[in-house]
């Protein structure tokens, strides 16, 4: 701005000129893309309310639920502390607060990056910027749009959940935490969009911040550090509102404050940078190339994400490992778990073992996310006309897709194994009743399930890429069934839809290894569908 | 490799077609992009593939490259099936798309080497020479290149290979006139080496300068095919003249037109503007000679007028044939 200050300000335009019409046009286009996110959060919250009375009709059922949740501290990593599972609203808070906030946050991040950086990449923004549009208008539109969507998540989920029979006061506060989490994440993304010099870097940056905060929040919640630790992360602030267990509204304020501070920073950065550039200026690269095969190309396109995921898995392993070392303390300190142990229904070793299975399954499901991303990259390469010159060279379709499939399967494999090794080294040497080898073997046994969850995306991208969202079905089903399913008393056949249900407990007396064969056959079928479809279909259609 | 001279061909040559497409149809949902397209490209020729945006040029090319599956019709490329024989055929051809999209994080040099290697090798000497002639900086990242420079990357990658067929889909879009001249030189040299070229374009001067034969595509069908001379034969030559005297008739213009050789006669004082079937030019001159010429310009039909005649006045052209 300072450089142009000397120029006469003729029409009295400000940095925000044109925001309103652009926002209106943009909302008309984008509103539909927010619907699945809003629906997901609403379904999460409303389904808890609907299911609770049905699944846990009386006090003894609810006590059993509290025991099951308390007996598996790994669940705390995702859902946060269970303050009160004896009421509908308490149960809904436990199940939805952290996860609903996370989903809203992802929506806000993608909305901001799409409307700011991605538009700059595609050249659409240039068209807009040449019109009568203030310098900050596009970012303002991106943020406003994400904020409105976050607000919509809050309003829709509150109304629907309330109509389903939840307490209005508790539900309103719970839904307000979704909205505020969305606002904070939109602000994080607004800063990330100024730092990264393209859309992918920007969203990776913002999602990484969110992911780290989420894992840190879960870790701190699950450990016995004392009550104050939940103030460490902004996501912890949301928890401090304690919906259905006191209803404190004011912790939302620091969340809003953080969003405002980040937004001020984002607009300041935006005013200083050049169009299309980020904080890091690109340097000249090599004049000659070493990438000379489809596999090398696939690696080159995905190496950034694969390497950052691998680092993330090292960190995840550290968190899980540390967490495991205190699992016996956590179990004995938990009255519900102690009751289970005292009744002889389970041995401490069995509880520790099922804890390990859960956290490694969680690592596996996260790893499958990276695999699906690799496959979706195939689709975006295709749609952005970069696959075309490659296919016009002497590259058969099977090797083009095959190279990406190989990477989509081996990347997550490396991730799970890295997390497994780190967890094993930390947990196996802590004398909690499991050895290094047990943890490692459990990690290896998890890998085929990761492949199955990822292979769904191979089939989708290969055969029916138009239904892009379907690529996530494997990951979503695994998450919903394996991590959420058991608390819902789903029948065994339903739980068995998730490949992770078939991962053997390696420390059991007679681990059932057959399951891995079945899910590997399913994997093979998905891969075959994907390859056959890719060879048959029109490219970039 | 033997270089065939462009122009009229014997029936023998037709067995050597590099591209042979008959009755090609392709729909995308409701929209019919190709409606029974025929196209033949003989070995060693530069074949201009002319048509406006949306006529079906790129769809045809994508089918030739095995990227899209034909709904109906036969397609032979270098004697093979472009859908099935991908690897063996693609080793023998190179492709420049009209809208080049490069990998944002990869340099132009890396992209050239990748595409070259995937095709099975690159001529190092020619690579260096082309980069030099096109004044391309191969060390820039894909996202830093302008449209024209992205185009150059694809052109260098395609022309640095040793191939039999070049498939160029509006290859010069975004190039400045200097670089376009370099492009024409380079394609000319490829032709000297015996390379067959399918050059899709809507830049008429480029096609006029390079092409031996031309196919004009309109609305998913090839409406006209032939050498430039043949196409011109169907079209009219423009005559502008200042006559020394006028025919001795009440309506001199009608008198000039009455012979049926001169068409579209416009007379303004002694200034005459008229069209004539190119094949009947001598007759026209003979008819006009009695009146004497103060000045005379005879303009052969440009490709542009040909092209426009197909698009503005299609029925009329068909009627005269």
Kindly report, residue by residue over A152-208, the tens digit of the pLDDT.
999 999 999 999 988 999 999 999 999 999 999 999 999 999 888 777 778 888 988
- Tell me the helices (H) and strands (E) count for chain A, helix number first: 21, 0
CA A112-A113-A117 angle, to 5 degrees, is 125
Please say if the pLDDT value at position B316 is more than 70.
Answer: no
User: In this predicted model, which residue has the larger pLDDT, B309 or A79?
Assistant: A79
Burial letters A66-99, b for 16+ CB under 10 A, else e: bbbbbbbbbbbbbbbbbebbebbbbbbbbbbbbb
Please say whether the dihedral angle defined by the alpha carbons of residues A108, A114, A115 and A121, taken in this order, is positive or negative. positive
Q: List helix spans (H) across chain B.
A: 57-64, 86-90, 108-119, 124-133, 147-159, 177-192, 204-210, 228-234, 252-257, 281-288, 303-312, 314-320
Q: Which residue of A has its CA nearest to B154?
A: A389
SS3 state at A223: coil
pLDDT for position B260? 82
**Joined tokens for residue A448:** 């085929």
Per-residue pLDDT, B59: 93
Q: Counting runs of H as helices and runs of E as strands, what totals does chain B give?
A: 12, 13
Whether residue B80 has pLDDT greater than 50: yes
In B, which residues are within 8 Å of A300 by CB distance? 103, 106
pLDDT at A340: 66
B92 or A282: which leads in pLDDT: B92
pLDDT per residue as tens digits for the range B125-179: 999 999 999 999 999 988 889 899 999 999 999 999 899 999 999 998 889 999 9
| β-strand partners of B28 | B31
Tell me the pLDDT band of B222, cut-offs 50, 70 and 90: very high
Chain A contacts of B137, Cβ < 8 Å? 284
Note the pLDDT of residue B113. 93
Between CA A58 and CA B257 the distance in angstroms is: 105
d(CA B221, nearest CA chain A) in Å: 21
Torsion, CA A6, CA A12, CA A18, CA A19, rounded to 10? 80
Q: What is the mean pLDDT of chain A?
A: 86
Quote the minimal CA–CA distance from B68 to chain A in Å. Answer: 4
Residue in A276, A271, A305 with CA at minimum distance from that of residue A375: A305
Instruction: Please name the residue that has the structure tokens 């006139």.
Output: B177
Which pLDDT band, with edges at 50, 70 and 90, does B86 fall under? confident
> Among B20, B23, B21, B19, which residue's Cα sits nearest to residue B72?
B23
Of the ranges A449-463, A521-535, B194-208, which one carries the lowest mean pLDDT score? B194-208
Interface residue of A200, A394, A397, A535 to substitute, partner B, most B CBs within 10 Å: A394
Contact call for A284 and B107, based on CB within 8 A: yes
**B81 dihedral zone (left: phi>0; alpha: psi -120 to 50; beta):** beta
Phi and psi, residue A516, nearest 5°? -65, -35
Q: Read off φ and ψ for residue A320, nearest 5 degrees.
A: -60, -40
Q: Which of A285, A540, A541 is opposite residue B110, by nearest beta carbon?
A: A285
**Whether A287 and B91 lie within 8 Å, measured CB to CB:** no
Task: Kindly give the pairing relationship between strand B221-227 and strand B31-42.
Answer: unpaired
Q: Is B135 exposed, middle or buried (0-12, 13-18, 19+ CB in 10 A)?
A: exposed
Task: Chain A: give the shortest CA distance to residue B174, in Å.
Answer: 15
Question: For residue A315, what are the CA distances in angstroms to A105, A362, A370, A422, A516?
Answer: 21, 14, 16, 9, 27
Does A469 contact B at CB distance below 8 Å? no
Residues of B with Cβ-Cβ distance to A285 under 8 angstroms = 106-107, 109-110, 139-141
Given a cut of 50, whether residue A7 has pLDDT beyond it is no
Distance CA A406, CA A265 (A): 41
Distance CA(A328)–CA(A311), nearest Å, equals 28
Which tokens hold the place of A423?
């967890």
Sequential DSSP letters for A66-106: HHHHHT-THHHHHH------SSHHHHHHHHHHHHHHHHHHH
Written as six digits, the tokens of A341 are: 């142990």
Alpha-carbon distance A132 to A18, whole Å?
A: 7
| Burial annotation A217-239 (CB, 10 A radius, 16+ → b, else e) | bbbbbbbeeeeebbeebbbbbbb
Strands across the sheet containing B262-268: B262-268, B271-277, B236-243, B293-299
Q: B67 and A391: CB-CB below 8 Å?
A: yes
Nearest CA in chain A to B95: A392
* Mutant choice from A287, A296, A306, A398 vs B, greatest count of B C-beta within 10 A: A287
Counting every residue written for chain A, the total comes to: 541
pLDDT at position A460 = 96
Angle between the N-to-C axes of helices A294-325 and A348-383, in degrees from 0 to 180, rounded to the nearest 10: 150
CB contact under 8 A, A288 and B95: no
Using a pLDDT cut of 90, give the percent of chain A over it. Answer: 45
Reported confidence tier of residue A435, pLDDT bands at 50, 70, 90: confident
Q: How many residues does chain B have?
A: 321
The answer on pLDDT for A268 being more than 60 is yes
- Contact between B76 and B117 under an 8 Å Cβ cutoff? The reply is no
Between CA A540 and CA A388 the distance in angstroms is 8
Reference B70, options B32, B102, B42, B41; nearest CA is: B32
Q: Give A240 to chain B, closest Cα distance, Å.
A: 43
A28-32, B10-14, B74-78 — which is least confidently predicted? B10-14
Could you tell me if A81 and A353 are in contact, meaning their C-beta atoms sit under 8 angstroms apart?
no
What is the sign, positive or negative, of the torsion defined by CA atoms of A446, A449, A453, A454?
Answer: positive
> How do beta strands B271-277 and B196-201 pair?
unpaired
pLDDT value at A67 more than 70: yes
Distance CA B61, CA B65 (A): 6
Q: Phi and psi for B193 in degrees, rounded to 5?
A: -75, -5
Q: Which of A292, A386, A391 sits opposite B117 (nearest CB)?
A: A292
User: Nearest CA to CA, how far is B303 from chain A (Å)?
Assistant: 30
Residue B4 confidence (pLDDT) above 60: no
pLDDT, tens digit, 9 for 90 and up, residues A385-411: 899 999 999 899 999 999 999 999 999
* Of the listed ranges A92-101, A224-233, A441-450, B122-131, the one predicted with least confidence: A224-233
Q: What is the predicted pLDDT for the residue at B71?
A: 93
Interface of A with B in 22-51 (CB under 8 A): none
A70-79 per-position pLDDT tens digit: 777 777 777 8
Partners of B114 on chain A (C-beta within 8 Å) are: 289, 291-292, 297, 390
Concatenate the DSSP letters of all residues of A125-160 into one string. Answer: HHHHHTSS--TTHHHHHHHHHHHHHHHHHHHHHHHH
Contact B157, B145 (CB under 8 A): no
Residue B226, beta-bridge partner list: B214
If we measure between CA atoms, which residue out of A257, A265, A323 comes closest to residue A72?
A: A323
Please choose, from the candidates B146, B108, B144, B104, the residue with its C-alpha nearest in 3D space to the C-alpha of residue B127.
B108
The CB density around residue B290, as the number of other CB atoms within 10 Å, is 10
CB A228 within 8 A of CB A332: no
Q: Give the pLDDT score at B98.
A: 87
Between B165 and B203, the more confident residue is: B165
Distance CA A528, CA A524 (A): 6
Q: Report chain A's C-alpha Rg in angstroms.
A: 24
Is B38's pLDDT higher than 90?
A: yes
Between residues A421 and A326, the one the model is more confident about: A421
Confidence check: pLDDT of A91 > 60: yes
Q: What is the mean pLDDT of the segment spanning A234-241?
A: 91
Please tell me the predicted confidence (pLDDT) of residue A333: 66
Mean pLDDT of A335-356: 72
> Please, are residues B78 and B164 in contact by the beta-carbon 8 Å criterion?
yes
Q: What is the pTM of this model?
A: 0.76
CB of B291 within 8 A of CB of B278? Answer: no
Check: CB of residue B122 under 8 Å from CB of residue B113: yes
Q: How far apart are CA A191 and CA A209, in angstroms?
A: 11
Q: Which two tokens stand for residue B218?
A: 């309109």
Q: How far is CA A524 from CA A400, A415, A451, in A?
A: 18, 21, 9
Higher pLDDT, B156 or A490: B156
A198/B contact by beta carbon, under 8 A = yes
Residue A329 in this model has a pLDDT that exceeds 80:
no
Which pLDDT score, from 0 to 100, does residue A341 have?
Answer: 66
> What distance in Å separates residue B25's CA from the closest CA in chain A?
14
Percent of chain A having pLDDT more than 70?
A: 92
**Cβ-Cβ contacts under 8 Å for B293 (sequence gap 6 or more):** B241, B242, B243, B244
In sequence order, which residues have a C-beta less than 8 Å from that of residue B248 and are 6 or more positions away? none
Question: What burial letters (b/e) apply to B72-84, b meaning 16+ CB within 10 Å?
Answer: ebebbbbeeebbe
Q: B86: which chain A residues are within 8 Å (Cβ-Cβ)?
A: 391, 394-397
| pLDDT bucket at B15, cuts 50 / 70 / 90 | low
Taking an 8 Å cut-off on Cβ atoms, the answer to whether A294 and B118 are in contact is yes
pLDDT at position A349, please? 76
């Amino acid at each position: 701005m300072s450089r142009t200050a000397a120029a006469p300000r003729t029409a009295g335009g400000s940095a925000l000129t044109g925001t309103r019409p652009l926002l209106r046009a943009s909302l008309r286009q984008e509103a539909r893309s927010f619907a699945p996110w809003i629906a997901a959060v609403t379904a999460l919250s409303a389904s808890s309310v609907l299911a609770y009375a049905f699944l846990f009709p009386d006090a003894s059922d609810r006590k059993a639920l509290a025991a099951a949740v308390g007996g598996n501290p790994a669940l705390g990593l995702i859902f946060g502390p269970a303050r009160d599972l004896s009421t509908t609203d308490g149960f809904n808070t436990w199940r939805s607060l952290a996860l609903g906030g996370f989903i809203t946050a992802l929506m806000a991040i993608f909305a901001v990056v799409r409307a700011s950086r991605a538009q700059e990449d595609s050249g659409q923004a240039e068209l807009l910027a040449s019109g009568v549009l203030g310098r900050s208008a596009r970012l303002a539109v991106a943020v406003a749009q994400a904020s409105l969507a976050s607000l919509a998540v809050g309003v829709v989920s509150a109304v629907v959940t309330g109509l389903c029979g939840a307490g209005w006061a508790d539900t309103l506060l719970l839904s307000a935490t979704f909205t505020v989490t969305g606002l904070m994440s939109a602000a994080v993304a607004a800063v990330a969009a100024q730092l990264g010099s393209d859309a992918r870097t920007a969203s990776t940056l913002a999602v990484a911040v969110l992911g780290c905060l989420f894992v840190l929040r879960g870790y701190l919640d699950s450990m016995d550090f004392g009550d104050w630790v939940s103030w460490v992360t902004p996501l912890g602030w949301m928890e401090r509102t304690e919906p259905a267990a006191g209803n404190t509204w004011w912790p939302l304020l620091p969340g809003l404050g953080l969003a405002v501070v980040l937004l001020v920073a984002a607009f300041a950065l935006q005013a200083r940078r050049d169009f299309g550039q980020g904080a890091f200026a690109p340097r000249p690269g090599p004049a000659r190339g070493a990438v000379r095969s489809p596999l090398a190309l696939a690696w080159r396109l995905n190496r950034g994400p694969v390497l950052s995921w691998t680092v993330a898995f090292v960190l995840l392993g550290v968190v899980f490992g540390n967490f495991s070392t205190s699992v016996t303390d956590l179990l004995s300190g938990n009255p519900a778990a102690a009751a289970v142990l005292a009744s002889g229904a389970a041995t401490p070793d069995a509880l520790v073992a099922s804890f390990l299975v859960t956290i490694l399954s969680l690592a596996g499901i996260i790893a499958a996310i990276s695999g699906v991303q690799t496959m979706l990259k195939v689709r975006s390469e295709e749609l952005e006309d970069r696959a075309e010159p490659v296919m016009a060279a002497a590259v058969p379709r099977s090797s083009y897709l095959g190279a990406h499939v190989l990477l989509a399967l081996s990347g997550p494999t490396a991730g799970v194994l890295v997390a497994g090794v780190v967890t094993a080294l930390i947990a196996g040497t802590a004398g909690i009743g499991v050895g290094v080898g047990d943890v490692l073997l459990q990690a290896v046994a998890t890998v085929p399930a990761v492949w199955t969850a990822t292979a769904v995306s191979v089939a989708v991208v290969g055969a029916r890429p138009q239904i892009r969202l379907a690529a996530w079905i494997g990951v979503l089903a695994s998450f919903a069934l394996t991590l959420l399913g058991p608390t819902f008393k789903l029948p065994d056949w339903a739980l068995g839809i998730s490949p992770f249900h078939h991962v053997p407990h390696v420390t059991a007396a007679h681990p059932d290894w057959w399951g891995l064969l079945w899910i590997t056959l399913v994997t093979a079928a998905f891969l075959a569908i994907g390859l056959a479809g890719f060879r048959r279909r029109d490219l970039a259609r | 490799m033997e270089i065939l001279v462009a122009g009229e061909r014997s029936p023998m040559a037709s067995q050597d077609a590099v591209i042979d497409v008959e009755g090609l149809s392709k729909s995308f949902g409701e929209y019919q992009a190709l409606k029974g397209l025929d196209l033949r490209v003989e070995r060693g020729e530069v074949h201009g593939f002319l048509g406006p945006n949306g006529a079906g040029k790129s769809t045809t090319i994508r089918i030739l490259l095995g990227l899209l599956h034909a709904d109906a019709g036969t397609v032979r490329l270098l004697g093979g099936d472009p859908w099935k024989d991908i690897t063996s055929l693609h080793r023998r051809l190179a492709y420049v798309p009209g809208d080049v999209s490069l990998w944002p994080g990869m340099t132009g040099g890396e992209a050239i080497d990748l595409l070259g290697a995937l095709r099975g090798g690159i001529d190092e000497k020619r690579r260096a020479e082309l980069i030099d002639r096109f004044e391309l900086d191969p060390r820039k990242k894909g996202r830093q290149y302008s449209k024209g420079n992205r185009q150059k990357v694809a052109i260098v990658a395609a022309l640095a290979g040793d191939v039999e067929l070049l498939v160029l889909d509006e290859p010069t879009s975004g190039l400045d006139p200097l670089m376009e001249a370099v492009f024409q030189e380079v394609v000319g040299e490829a032709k000297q080496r015996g390379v067959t070229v399918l050059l899709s374009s809507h830049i008429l001067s480029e096609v006029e300068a390079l092409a031996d034969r031309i196919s004009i595509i309109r609305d998913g069908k090839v409406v006209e095919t032939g050498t430039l001379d043949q196409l011109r034969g169907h079209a009219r030559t423009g005559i502008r003249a200042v006559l020394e005297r006028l025919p001795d008739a009440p309506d001199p213009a009608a008198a000039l037109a009455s012979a049926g050789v001169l068409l579209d006669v416009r007379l303004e004082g002694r200034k005459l503007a008229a069209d004539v079937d190119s094949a009947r030019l001598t007759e026209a001159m003979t008819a006009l000679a009695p009146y004497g010429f103060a000045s005379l310009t005879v303009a052969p039909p440009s490709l542009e007028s040909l092209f426009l005649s197909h698009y503005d006045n299609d029925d009329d052209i068909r009627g005269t044939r």
